[in-house]
Amino acid sequence: MMIVRRIIESGKESAEQHAHGLRPDTDFESTVARKVASVLDVDADGGVLVARSEDDIVGFVTYFVDGWHGSIGDVWVEPELRGGRLAVKLTRQAEDCMVSSGASFITATAMAGARVAVSTLEHMGYLPVAMSFVRKIGED
């Protein structure tokens, strides 16, 4: 398995153009390219680390850095490969990239109910600091 680093830096090229470097030749890869483009369309440096097995994407992590603050975006691993530490490896490599870009503080989020993701982040040394709530307006 190989992890490929794709870097998107603000002002150098559009995130959407660079995301097409993922060769979006499948529906999934097109989705990844669009997600990366939307996540990284900010005034910050960032990238995506893509894990491939031969020509197939089997995992990815998105990240960005804005000064001293780094942020892990999405982490995704093929369901049959989950539990094999690929998510941890991708996240650690993203952390290294962010530190190299000047980050001294990194945040990560997990969806409510994602117990495995929360447990993994805590095992990696992340501490829970906030909870977000959402309510659809017009419903009681």
What's the pLDDT score for residue 36?
Answer: 54
Q: In Å, what is the CA distance from 99 to each residue of 24, 57, 58, 71, 92?
A: 29, 25, 25, 11, 11
C-alpha to C-alpha distances, 30 to 19, 20, 84, nearest whole angstrom = 9, 8, 25
Model confidence, pTM: 0.70
pLDDT tens digits, 61-88: 989 899 999 999 889 999 999 888 999 9
* Structural domains in the chain, sorted by start: 2-123 (3.40.630.30)
Q: ∠ CA 108-111-112 to the nearest 5 degrees? A: 125
